[in-house]
Amino acid sequence: MAKKLVRAFSAFCLIPLASAVSAASLPDYQTNSAWFTDSIERLEERVALSREEKTAKNVILFVGDGMGISTLTAARILEGQLRGENGEENALSFEEFPYSALIKTYNTNQQTPDSAGTMTAMMTGVKTRAGVINIDEDALRADCASAEGKELNTFLELMENRGRSTGIVSTARLTHATPAATYSRSPERGWEYEAEGNCVDIATQMIELEYGDGIDVMLGGGRRSFTTTDVGGKREDGRDLTSEWLQRYEGEQSAAYVQTGTALASVDLASTDKLLGLFTSSHMSYDADRIAKESDEPSIAEMTGIAIELLQKDSDGYFLMVESGRIDHGHHAGNAYNALHDAIAFADAVQVALDKVDLEDTLILVTADHSHVMTIAGYPTRGNSILGKVIENDDSGAAKAEVETADDDLPYTTLTYANGLGFADLGENTDADERYEIAADAGRKDLSGIDTEAPGFHQEALVHLGSESHAGEDISLHAIGAGAKLVQGSLEQSALFHVMTAATDLSLTEE
């Protein structure tokens, strides 16, 4: 029955099934999954409504890691306030897109998900367990033997095997869960540079991708997963994967490997076929930290622009995934300042894509993988600093002269976290991760003399955890371009795979 549904959906979308390549066809257990078939059924009606839409030759998927609705709202306000406006009336670049939907993010074993399971759903059309990358939910986490025969194929791999170009951009390590889910299969997201049993580590899978001729553009952090311990890396197998990657294309294609923003900017894209950029040992800097310390790292907008320019050389089309990974990390540290500034930088990257592509043949999708427990509360007056303390209106509607206090007679901020490490005042320090180096301080604090708008301020938290947690509510999906009409209503996260395949007329199975 599932096979018939796939074929019916393919025919309904005018997908040329004969063009399927068996090496990248989806296995039966993937197309038989209830997540897979349910998404097809739900999208059939939307496909009928969008038949007049042009087919997308190119797809750009933007993922703001941890960019829930409250993060969008706060980032929107902050961006406006940085321009001297009230902020509430502002709109981030992608909030102007004509189509949007709510996305349900739960994993098969958790109400509140993790990035491995959520990105697997987007890339394969199948939901799975937390911590597992492109492996069916019947496998056990960190159990290599249980994953055999349960591997799921991704949209990136399908595009590669159909002659399209592909790319990944991330401010996190390129072997981290979200970017890794575009190209790898692993029962444990932590196996970035070494794996157990017969499983292959994620970094090796990236540079050895067998589909097509491999990924064309890879820009982000995580150099340590590709290099050996004697040069500051993590690999103990003696392999330098960056050298192996260059050797793979020697004499066949022009490949370039860069480690700085300056080197990236100087790459001759016209004469470059393959591009690998690993700009930091682990994750890239928070955007505010990158600017403050004048780090020689490219911004997410710069990486996005260069990736698109290289991929656009392929007249057959391309797929690009761009992740802002450090929104998530700012929230985990309980630091709204960095999370929101990285969300604004992410919106800038979306604008770069809008300026470079032709929406007649390109679909741009902007979404998140999950939310966070940051809340916007109290009754701050219009234009109140989103990072500041709450000032309410008086009975006449005018803003009060003094900061509002709670029932405990202490001031409070508009943004707080339901859980996490809690309060910290690191002043002008822009590195949110340093919060983990000092003792946890959850609960209410006297913020009277604290500059809560400083980069190093970490919001109060109600429940003490060693790291602030993800949240389980729906996130948003925004769409523009060819095939964007498919994005409406409320969707399972696994439906994003089908949105992309339907928009591109990408075949899923053989005749």
What residues contact 195, with CB distance under 8 A and at least 6 apart?
144, 186, 188, 201, 202
Distance separating alpha carbons of residues 121 and 287, to the nearest angstrom: 28
Kindly report the CA angle at 193 between 191 and 194, in degrees rounded to 5? Answer: 65
CA separation for the pair 227, 238 (Å, rounded): 8
How many whole angstroms separate alpha carbon 69 and alpha carbon 334? 17
**C-beta of residue 442 within 8 angstroms of C-beta of residue 435:** no
Cβ atoms of 59 and 319 closer than 8 Å: yes
On the 0-12 / 13-18 / 19+ scale of CB atoms within 10 A, 54 is middle
Active-site positions?
115
Of residues 15, 118, 101, the one with CA closest to residue 66: 118
Compute the distance between CA of residue 181 and CA of residue 147 in angstroms, rounded to an integer.
15
Contact 169, 219 (CB under 8 A): yes
What is the Cα–Cα distance from 292 to 337, expressed in whole angstroms? 14
* Structural tokens at position 8: 């019916």
For residue 133, give the 3-state DSSP assignment: strand
Dig out the tokens for 158 from the structure. Answer: 């399908």
Question: Looking at residue 397, what DSSP letter applies?
Answer: S
Residues 6+ apart with CB under 8 A from 450: 425, 457
Beta strands in 81-141 (DSSP E): 99-104
SS3 302: helix
CB distance 442 to 407 below 8 Å = no
Compute the CA torsion angle 336, 339, 345, 350 (nearest 10 deg). Answer: -120
